[in-house]
Amino acid sequence: MEILEANNLSHSFDYKLFDDVSFSLNKKERIAIIGMSGSGKSTLLHIISSLLKPQSGSVKLFGEDIYNLNKSKLAEIKRDKIGLVFQSHYLFRGFSAYENLEVAEILSQQPIDEELLKRLDIEHCIKQKVTELSGGQQQRVSIARVLTKKPEIIFADEPTGNLDSKTAHEVMELFFEYCDKNDAGMVLVTHDTGLAQLCDKVYRLEDKELKREK
Ligand SMILES: Nc1ncnc2c1ncn2[C@@H]1O[C@H](COP(=O)(O)OP(=O)(O)OP(=O)(O)O)[C@@H](O)[C@H]1O
């Protein structure tokens, strides 16, 4: 079943980034988007994850045309069904790591998974303020926060960018396990072709087109 449908997307800033791009994502499916710096990967991710309206084309999430949807229905999808993991972590910086997870717990009414904290190796630093954590620890707290919400689609932009390669692979494994267990899908934007190859499908954004590589 398709949980994401991107139809004929085009977008430009100073130059045309991509033109007439279409693809879809099924439950449990993981797809990677790779491509040169500046090719528009992050912009495409923003568009399909409801953050940026495309100049043309449409995006359906769970069958709903998100840029032609009433605000409260869109807010519901954002809150309950999608999880964003970006490089800038959007953690509440005045709070401890645990308090950040509690916010997700309250908003989504899903309990914090203590096992997840262990798997991410953050259980020992979870009471510390976000500002006292390393970049890699903050990254893992933001991953824990997103997974606490139990999203049906994870949108991730270089989610392991601050992590060493062993930890990066462990974190990807955790994402994949999460998708399998929860019937969730994932769209991963990355420069790391090794990580991309772990996904079910790989697309390259190049010459304004999205080309299937795997
Ligand atoms: N909000 C914006 N306003 C104007 N230009 C933008 C905006 N966002 C991105 N751009 C431009 O669009 C182009 C594509 O940016 P984008 O971040 O989507 O590429 P990317 O493929 O993800 O790059 P990288 O791999 O370096 O992260 C860049 O030239 C960038 O400067």
In the chain the domains, ranked by start, together with CATH numbers, are 1-81+151-214 (3.40.50.300), 89-150 (no CATH)
Which of 43, 44, 209 has most ligand 1 atoms within 8 Å of CB, for mutation? Answer: 43
pLDDT of residue 155: 97
**Structure tokens given for 186:** 């994932």
Ligand 1 atom 10: the closest Cα is on which residue? Answer: 13
Ligand 1 atom 6: the closest Cα is on which residue? Answer: 13
Taking residues 7-21, report their average pLDDT. 97
Q: What is the pLDDT of residues 22-44, one digit of tens each?
A: 999 999 999 999 999 999 999 99
Taking residues 67-87, report their average pLDDT. 93
Q: What is the pLDDT of residues 88-143, one digit of tens each?
A: 667 888 899 999 999 989 988 889 999 999 999 999 999 999 999 998 899 899 99
Ligand 1 atom 13: the closest Cα is on which residue? Answer: 38
Alpha-carbon distance of 30 to 49, in angstroms, equals: 15
Q: Please say whether the beta carbons of 93 and 131 come within 8 A.
A: yes
Q: Which residues does a 6 A CB cutoff place in the pocket of ligand 1? A: 13, 17, 35, 37-43
Strands (E), the chain: 2-12, 16-26, 30-35, 56-61, 64-65, 82-85, 153-157, 185-189, 201-206, 209-212
Interface confidence (ipTM) of the complex: 0.96
Cβ-proximal residues to 34 (8 Å cutoff; 6+ apart), any chain: 41, 189, 190, 191, 193, 196, 202, 203, 204, 205, 213
Taking residues 149-154, report their average pLDDT. 96
Which of 42, 46, 47, 187 has most ligand 1 atoms within 8 Å of CB, for mutation? Answer: 42
pLDDT of residue 88: 67
